[in-house]
Structure 1
């Protein structure tokens, strides 16, 4: 069977058939979703979405033979994106798990080497879209080495030896030469971007040779500017794992593109919280660098992917740091992306941010609905205007009024085709 054409190139198949003299001159079928509230980018307005093939067209282009679907009383939104999810198998089952939860677009910032078959699967018009960093760049004994070698090696990777994970699950970058070698290998492996690790970088000299710090240290902060510049020279953007305020300042000064996590996502002790507190100066630095951030703040709840329990009282001080950090970043103009660190769904993270007072429902919903376009900026997604790809959701209620409405998915349309949801199986 032929490999599918990449999404975002809807004319490729048509041009090929024209070249062969086999083009079908009949127009693509149309479907009109009418009577609902349509997302504009900042709110909803009553209207209709006309789908022709895998694109949205202007209402004036609707034909008399178009199939009509009433979405009266419902809300049409862009599909959700997850900017930080580590489990993205190229399987129909994994794709359904994401799309059932409304997530069509994913970044996986650290995964084991994947071949061309995976990329072909993600390019299918009926599957979720995934970009991967392949293995992240760290130093010997740094995160995520222990995670793979001591925790995941047996149950997930069949007992593979430590040597196998080096160059697949993670790369060493203790010197510029090692960084260059790691980046060249990542390019050959088909990485879409680079993941780099900073953990307590203010204490790098103390942690570097400390055996008790195994798995909880990262790169030499002095090498970050070289890593970012070398990655950019190869056409790869850089996502940096950060733990402390010092880490994110180092990443920003180096010109990194995205902070994966924000300080305070895992801090619980007073010492950790002290190191996680941002300042207006750091927030301004992050904004000036043009860095986007992915908080993953709901991780303090434990299982952040389906838990609905209220935040425990003993985590109120953590929530206070998270709330203030996000306030400072947003006042400075930093763009915030949705990410969970896991499968999703994304709504638990959004609900957490609303619950702790870091965002209103309207602000959190806007963050969720704008993330997909930032994950694939070269494509026309995350919009419901003429010319946009026909990827959208049909919700039963307005998430800008009640963030829990993100859960209430009544329909999913991917590349112009209605997907069956869990309620249909």
Structure 2
């Protein structure tokens, strides 16, 4: 019998399909092209096994490809403060950095990335290159250049806009450039001091509302970088879909987020990595200390989000990896199944792609990973990625490593 090259059966695996159903032992996944044709117990596949090429998963656990819902592929890692590693870097160098980090994402089992900000919208170009098959990388949902006020968060790598008219124009520009979502900087952050401190709200409700209206008219989603309650409440009043960080959110704000069903991407790794590695990464001493002092508040915030029943999504920001983020979530009290969902189904819902990825079901994209061990009993098993399948293409870790320059592989992660 002739084997159909477009049909592959992944067998000898334990299945976590991401739907919440119980794990399936001795399961199989039938992939045709870039889609899942069938998934379930291997014994139920019948004669179709004879008509497909076969891949033995070695009894490993297979689950949906991970989704990193807060990333900056072209800003990632790097030495020095934000000015040195991003603002003063030429676009070409940042784009090359993005190509490398896209490959690292596959190595780590991440098949979909929501890039929430890049200088000059470089992540859009990276997305298009991957979609065109010119380079390998995860599926990218790109915000393009974030919109910020004069002197606002991310200055030097954002689209500056002030007032309702300018903000509307900026949103339209990003949409015209191909942005998949619109992001505004609604508060300061852990990059600068003064007007850009994390306690400082930025943008008015009216300014944010026009940007969100433009995005929603175009069928796109919206998000904001926001730490203090005032900025979070203003963004919700303006009609935002998601909040990034929420680092200073109190219990009342957490309950309001849950009531409004606003998704939250807390990025726990960001502060912790700055504290643990900031000195080695050449960060200013005041920044490392500010992050250190803010850690207890971040812990309180996350527990408040959990207790309020918020829809929490996993995202890394520019340091660490998704496995570390999920580990932090579990350490702070999140049940392991909820943590895995935060990087699969709930993350897919956040991106608006739950009909394509996030669970392993017939008709969805062939995006999945195989790991050694059982992540339901030990979340650290997600670090042991043995293979990544994205869009029906299989990536072995060793093969991916050879395509990544040693300068990136040895960089602080």
SS at match of 2:386: strand
- Aligned residue for 1:57? 37
TM-score, normalization by structure 2: 0.75
Equivalent residue pairs, number: 351
Residue 124 of structure 1 and its aligned partner are, at CA, apart by: 4.2
1:28 shift after superposition = 4.9
Match of 1:408 in 2: 384
What is the rounded CA distance, in whole Å, between the counterparts of 1:44 and 1:329 in structure 2? 28
User: SS of the residue aligned with 2:50?
Assistant: coil
The structure having more radius of gyration, on CA atoms, is: 1
| 1:355-374 to 2 correspondences below 5 Å | 355=331, 357-371=332-346, 373-374=348-349
Do the aligned partners of 1:391 and 1:415 also contact (CA within 8 Å) in 2?
yes
The answer (yes or no) to whether the contact 1:34–1:71 under 8 Å persists in 2 is yes
Aligned to 1:338: 314
Q: Is the 8 A contact 2:227 2:246 kept in 1?
A: yes
- 1:225 and 2:209 correspond: yes
Deviation per CA, 1:253-275: give whole Å up to 9, x if none. Answer: 22201111122xxxxxxxxxxxx
TM-score under structure 1 length normalisation: 0.73
Give the structure 2 partner of residue 137 of structure 1: 147
C-alpha separation in 1, matches of 2:16 and 2:256: 32
- When residues 36 and 402 of structure 1 are mapped into structure 2, their CA distance, relative to the original with a 3 A threshold, is same
CA deviations 1:79-101 (Å, max 9, x no partner) are: 11111111244765332111001
Any idea what the Cα deviations from partners look like across 1:356-406, whole Å, max 9, x if unmatched? x23133322232232552335164212222212111100001112111111
- Alpha-carbon distance between aligned partners in 1 of 2:225 and 2:124, rounded to the nearest angstrom: 27
Q: How many angstroms does 1:410 deviate by?
A: 0.9
Q: Which residue of 2 aligns with 1:194?
A: 182
CA contact (8 A) 1:80 1:371 kept: no
Q: Are 2:356 and 1:385 equivalent residues in the alignment?
A: no
Q: 1:290 maps to what in 2?
A: 261
Q: Using a 3 Å threshold, how does the CA distance of structure 1 residues 65 and 27 change in structure 2: closer, same or farther? A: closer
Q: Is the 8 A contact 2:66 2:109 kept in 1?
A: yes
CA distance in 2, matches of 1:69, 1:332: 43
User: Please, which moves more after superposition, 219-228 or 382-391?
Assistant: 219-228
- Show CA shifts across 1:309-358 (max 9, x none): xxxxx999855544443343344442111111126520111111222x23
Question: Does the alignment pair 1:242 with 2:226?
Answer: yes
Gaps of 5+ in 1: 1-25, 149-168, 202-210, 264-275, 308-313
Contact 1:324–1:358 under 8 Å retained in 2: no
Q: Name the SS of the counterpart of 2:45 in structure 1.
A: helix
Preserved contact between residue 206 and residue 238 of structure 2 (Cα < 8 Å): no
Matching of residues 6-85 of structure 1 within 5 Å: 28-41=5-18, 42=20, 43-46=22-25, 47-58=27-38, 60=45, 62-85=48-71
Q: How do residues 175-186 of structure 1 correspond to structure 2 at under 5 angstroms?
A: 175-186=163-174
Aligned residue number for residue 106 of structure 2: 99
8 Å Cα contact 1:366-1:400 kept in structure 2 = no
C-alpha displacement of 1:245: 2.0
**Contact 1:196/1:240 (<8 A) preserved:** yes
Give the match for residue 271 of structure 1: none
1:397 — aligned with what?
A: 373
Partner of 1:33, secondary structure, is strand
Q: Describe the SS at the equivalent of 1:283.
A: helix
State the match for 1:17 in structure 2. Answer: none
Residue aligned with 1:142, SS:
coil
Change (3 A) 1:260 1:69: same
